[in-house]
Amino acid sequence: MSEGIGASVQRKEDKKFLTGKGRYTDDINRAGQVYAHFVRSDIAHANIKSINTKVAAEASGVVAVYTGEDIDVGGPICGWVVPNRDGSATHEPPHPLLAKGKVRFVGDAVAVVIAESLQEAKSASELVEVDYDELPAVVNLETASSGAEIHEGMAENRYFDWELGDEEATDNALNSASRVVKLTVRNNRLVPNPMEPRSALAEYDELNDSYTLYTTSQSPHLTRLVLAAFMFQIPESKIRVVAPDVGGGFGAKIYVYVEEAVCTWASKKIKRPIKWTADRTQAFLTDAHGRDHINNIQLALDSNNKITGLRVDTLANLGGYLSAFAVAVPTYLHGTLLSGLYDIPAIYTNVKGYATTTTPVDAYRGAGRPEATYLLERVMDQAAREVGMDQAEFRRLNFIPKDAFPYQTAVALQYDIGDYEPALDKAMEMIDYKNFENRRSEASKRGKYRGIGVSSYIEACGIAPSAVAGALGGRVGGWESASVRVDPTGTITVTTGAHSHGQGHATTFAQIVTERLGVPNSSVELVHGDSDRSPFGMGTYGSRSLAVGGVAISKAIDKIVEKSKKIAAHLMEASADDVEFKDGKFTVAGTDKETAFGDVALAAYVPHNYPLETLEPGLEETAFYDPMNFTYPAGTHIAEVEVDPATGVVEIVDWAACDDFGNLINPMIVEGQVHGGIAQGIGQALLENAHYDENGQLLTASYMDYCMPRADDLPSFKVGYTNTPCTHNDLGVKGCGEAGAIASPPALINAIINALSPLGVTDMSMPATPQKVWKAIQDSQSVAAE
Amino acid sequence: MEIKDSYELPLSKERVWAALNDEEFLKNSIPWCEKLERRSETELAAEVKLKIGPMSTRFTGSITLSDIDPPNGYTITGSGKGGIAGAASGSAKVKLVEDKDTSSTILSYEVSAQVKGKIAQLGSRLIQSTAKKLSKNFFGSFVKQLEDMDKP
Amino acid sequence: MYSTKYMKPNSTSEALDAINSLGEGKFLAGGMTLIPTLKQRLANPDGLVDISGCDLDSIADEGETIKIGAMSRHVSVAESAVVKKAIPALAKLAEGIGDRQVRNRGTLGGSVANNDPSACYPSAVLALKANVHTNSRSIAADDFFTGMFETALEEDEIIESISFLKPTKANYVKFPNPASRYAMVGVFVAQFGDEVRVAVTGAGEGGVFRHQEMESVLSSNFSADSLSSVNIVSDGLISDLHASAEYRANLIKEMTKRAVV
């Protein structure tokens, strides 16, 4: 069927977005609404001596002013903790909704001013006087442990000190290696920058003693759960969370932030709806940032250039407070991926998570897996150079062979299936790898350095098998829910706990229904993003919507089909066992009896002729699906660049991506996800960097200085696929949302190093800005001259 | 960010030192200074209206003198809050060295500056140039006043 | 932004009356810098005098010069047949400013009066020996730019138009800041017979400046190769997150080479 699984159906949701008709949180207005504006610290680290709100409270239009002392509910919580090496627990310092006694990053909310208009709220907030006693900022990750104490009683500013793997075996491998390749890399800090900034509109219903919060969330049910059960300690049923159209998230909209919670809390205090929408500066300062690791890597090789061991010691900068999944990102989403797609017998990793007086850091597209892939693919490249092997062939030599699946890694995960060589071969063919040296010499005649870089990656998606997540410190389940309602006329309403904020769920999920029930795509409506309208769900992150949420829909459809067969059997006076269902029609084996799906639907709701004694009327089913394992998308990206030595500008001249996402539901949407992911990875590798000065001021807090990738920074991508369907879910799908952002940064950096390797350049940090590349060329020339 | 410069003045060290401690001199030297009041031997309250391009913000704060070593130099620190714009501070280590042969004095300075809040977040490209310009303006007008006074 | 009074006069003389009626008023041209500044509350003028109704947007060939009204939008300059024919480099410069939205709003006069050290237009004004015509006088380009964000303009002076001298040959090449796309270094090279002018923007701490050494080298031999021996000193060049003074010095030479064709 042309609208079913595997068809590049155009996105149903695009018309409203492309014509400006999306309905976002800030588009919603409620009668009597007032506006919140937050007074924020412009100092990174200070004790608050006093806050004077008196003048502000009396200013024009002001309804209320609150500080941390007024708040009587809890703040954001940690959704994942890990044990320390010494057996103690992750340090979880309190994170008050408004600062109490101390501020810990520039942008930390100190007070909220609520007024009749936003302008009045802003003007009055300028009248709030905060007297600070400034403390030394802690900015540098490498020296954070000796910096000023950020959280009371938290030694060395360390949230946790975690390990995974067999240290003894790994150190033995390193000690007996014929070569140990060493490398230190830094994963630069990124600002997520969804197009729509965060927003909240909170309303309190006095009659019902309940709240409604419209907000920019990737996971409205989790927002409700956290607000009700952990922060406000009220019955969960007393909060409704609606996440309407949401303009991108990239991870930053998973968490419950203080602003949304303060608005909700205050809406009861003043008994009026309260709106808050971040401006771009607030988004830069307060959306949880991404990445910011330093990794010390040691890779052991035997005399045949086979990897025998890997040790990675990581420092992770988690910022001034511990955000919800901040602990999971550098540990279980990072340490467990260190085997990559290589057969590595011994792996050990130690990760220390530090507090600094900077914006909290949490999951950002890829979350942990880009960091693992980056360090691994950088050291693989370094190793290939050191042993004098071709970068692709060195990887091939160390790939997990295809007959080794299921493959148990040395770092806890078991890969169900994969076949890595075909993707490498295909990517090499797509970019014409074998003729690269000709292109390099041709470029050299034009005065350009041309380079090619390979990145073979794997990721764990479909987050997450609940039992595994729970055993590893996760405090939530990893399942997803779906309910499929067949209307009397045969149209379908699918309700999902997943949340679409750009992914195209309305289209992809409809294709699953079309494929399975034979109804046209236009007959399928998707409901999501409202905790009152859909079964409890976990939301969208970690490339999980299809691999978990999509499979839940498929499971609900199974139940629909099963019940429909019984109804059809009754209508056709046959045994349910003999009824077959295909292309929207029920038939009885060996007869010419048939009945349409629509007739069965009608019979379910108009049960005049219906087996009421054995079957309930109606046709609506709900399924919850908890995956047995992660899914493991993998593949190879190859980047080709030209460097202009006069300016240091890196031009990406070609890009080949070959990914194994298992079965594809909508190849066009998948390709879009790949493009977007690569664009973000290129952003990280070439352009983006959150730069703090030594006082903890974010100097790149606007688009004047923070460089987002633009269309003209990007080449035309060549996108291809291989397919080893996932073995443990009904759709054979793996997830594709993060792959591009995971695979691309090392491909690009490796390509730049490859381009400059004739000059003796062996290292390049992200982002590889023109100035940095130019300087590397200058330095290599001055070394050569000496 | 370090900014350094020096001036040669055809005056004695004592004369320059006296001017460095004269609030009228200081007031006329501080760019866009609208108010300067002495609070103590070492502290003055200041109000400055800073204009950079279309930005125009009033900073209120203080000028403090430290590391006082008469007549060889001191550290002069200005710090102010600009409300919504954030805060800025600049500190100049000033040294006076007299050349006995020419009976002139070399005034040298070394400035370090810090900004906080919106001006750091939005204007990082201009911080160094602005700090340099303000330092130049300050010491330039200070020196000019001395030179003008010295003219018959 | 703070609330402020908005006035839209129909002539420059009315605009002057309007600005004088205010304590601390601001002229509003395209608003590409002023409006974001107001939105950030980094300025609090008691009134805005919008000069877009003052009929200052004509573009005319006046023989020796091309005269462009101060309120001409960048897009108008970029697409003007008159400009493209007489000074294609100026049209190219205008076409490279900001993005489409900025080019539809931003104006020549606004850019020149603001004299942002990273703006493109000041380099053209300086290299093309322009005359800046205000409501009260004409100011030669060499006297107009006095420092970072500073010009010879008085508080109540309006640029009405700018006359650019037609060069024998000219070119503008910029190296954009990757984030903002403002000029990190922009070089406008103009040749008038034997004379060559090289104006550099984006790089000087005091704003746009002429590079005399390159001018004299190019005057005797107008070729990119002749610049190889020139040493660009980094003193006085902007140093920021994106580019050190040394890197900017390198870019000045490189962009000038690329502009000399």
3-state secondary structure of A442: helix
| Cβ partners under 8 Å of residue B125, min gap 6 | A704, A705, C118, C177, C180, C238, C240, C241, C242
Q: How far apart are CA A206 and CA A672, in angstroms?
A: 45
Chain C contact for A584, CB < 8 A?
Answer: no
**Architecture of domain C5-53 in this structure:** 2-Layer Sandwich (3.30)
Residues of C whose CB is below 8 A from B119: 42
Contact, A38 vs A120, CB < 8 A?
no
Distance of alpha carbon A88 from the chain centroid: 29
| Cβ partners under 8 Å of residue A629, min gap 6 | A414, A416, A465, A468, A728
Q: How confident is the model at residue B148, as a pLDDT?
A: 85
Contact, A460 vs A543, CB < 8 A?
no
Q: How confident is the model at residue A710, as a pLDDT?
A: 95
Chain C contact for A772, CB < 8 A?
Answer: no
Centre a 10 Å sphere on the Cβ of residue A483 and count the other Cβ atoms it contains: 23
Residues of B whose CB is below 8 A from A705: 124-125
Q: How confident is the model at residue B128, as a pLDDT?
A: 87
Helices vs strands, H then E, count in chain C? 11, 14
Q: How confident is the model at residue B1, as a pLDDT?
A: 59
Distance of alpha carbon B78 from the chain centroid: 7
Whether C114 and B53 lie within 8 Å, measured CB to CB: yes
Residues of chain A with pLDDT under 50: none
User: What is the 8-class DSSP label of residue C252?
Assistant: H
Across the beta sheet with C5-7, the strand order is C5-7, C47-50, C25-28
* H or E element, residue A558: helix A551-571
CA distance A701 to chain B (A): 5
User: What is the 8-class DSSP label of residue A482?
Assistant: E
Top-level class of domain C169-259: alpha beta
Q: How confident is the model at residue A484, as a pLDDT?
A: 97
pLDDT per residue of chain B (152 residues) written in tens, 0 to 9: 578 999 999 999 999 999 999 988 899 998 889 999 999 989 999 999 988 888 999 999 999 999 999 999 999 999 999 999 999 999 999 999 998 888 899 999 999 999 999 999 998 888 888 899 999 999 999 999 988 876 65
> Do the interacting molecules here have an ipTM over 0.90?
yes
Handedness of CA C51, C84, C112, C137 (dihedral sign): negative
Q: How far apart are CA C95 and CA C76, in angstroms?
A: 9
Closest CA to A686 of A639, A718, A645: A639
Closest CA to A747 of A650, A644, A647, A646: A650
Best probe of the B interface among C27, C42, C242, by most B CBs < 10 A, is C42
How many Cβ contacts (< 8 angstroms) between chains A and C? 45
Whether C148 and B130 lie within 8 Å, measured CB to CB: yes
Chain A contact for C100, CB < 8 A?
Answer: no
Q: How far apart are CA A296 and CA A278, in angstroms?
A: 37
Helices vs strands, H then E, count in chain A? 18, 29
Q: How far apart are CA B46 and CA B31, in angstroms?
A: 11
Looking at the domain that runs over C59-165, which CATH code has it been given?
A: 3.30.465.10
Centre a 10 Å sphere on the Cβ of residue A529 and count the other Cβ atoms it contains: 30
Q: How far apart are CA C203 and CA C243, in angstroms?
A: 9
Delimit the domains of chain C by residue range: 5-53, 59-165, 169-259
Contact, A274 vs A266, CB < 8 A?
yes
Q: pLDDT tens digit string along C177-207?
A: 999 999 999 999 999 999 999 999 999 999 9
Among chain B residues, the shortest Cα distance to A105 is held by B117
Q: Domains plus CATH for chain A?
A: 32-135+201-248+253-286 (3.90.1170.50), 289-463+629-785 (3.30.365.10), 479-625 (3.30.365.10)
Contact, B25 vs B143, CB < 8 A?
no
Residues A210-247: b if buried by 16+ CB within 10 A, e if exposed:
bbbbbbbbbbbbbbbbbbbebbbebeeebbbbbbbbbb
- Going by pLDDT thresholds of 50, 70 and 90, the confidence category of residue C99 is very high
- Please state the length of chain C: 261
Q: How confident is the model at residue C225, as a pLDDT?
A: 96
Looking at chain C, which subunits does it touch, using at least 3 CB pairs closer than 8 Å as the criterion? A, B
3-state secondary structure of A423: helix
pLDDT (mean) for C36-60: 96
Six-digit token pair at C245? 């003074």
Q: How far apart are CA A321 and CA A354, in angstroms?
A: 10
Six-digit token pair at A314? 């990581």
Which residue numbers of B have CB closer than 8 Å to C's CBs? Answer: 52-57, 84-85, 118-119, 122, 124-130, 132-133
Q: How confident is the model at residue B147, as a pLDDT?
A: 86
Q: Domains plus CATH for chain B?
A: 2-150 (3.30.530.20)
Q: Which residues pair with A114 in a beta bridge?
A: A36, A64
